[in-house]
Amino acid sequence: MDPDEFFVQGAEQHAVKTACGGCPVRTQCLVDALENRIDFGVWGGMTERERRRLLRRHPDVSDWGAALTFAARRAAAGGM
């Protein structure tokens, strides 16, 4: 995809987020956006609003790579 397509607003963001679903570097992309507090665009399948909400809910997280890996493993194990 054209990189400019990741910097859209409103309903167009949903289409971009869908495109992120099959990306092999989705998690790394999201980690980069969270750790660097990137304010604009869709990164790792999340909009800027979704990332801000996640950062507000988890202000104590210092390693987003580890946190997302842990959450994925937990979800795969059925939430245990």
The reported pLDDT for the residue numbered 1 is 80
CA angle 6, 27, 53 (to 5 degrees): 70
The reported pLDDT for the residue numbered 79 is 66
At residue 2 the predicted structure's pLDDT band, cuts being 50, 70 and 90, is: confident
Q: Burial letters for 12-48: b for 16+ Cβ neighbours within 10 Å, e otherwise?
A: ebeebbeebeeeeebbebbbebbeeeeeebbbbbbbb
Q: What is the pLDDT of residues 15-54, one digit of tens each?
A: 899 989 889 999 999 999 999 999 999 999 999 999 999 9
Return d(Cα 40, Cα 43) in angstroms, integer: 9
**pTM of structure:** 0.87
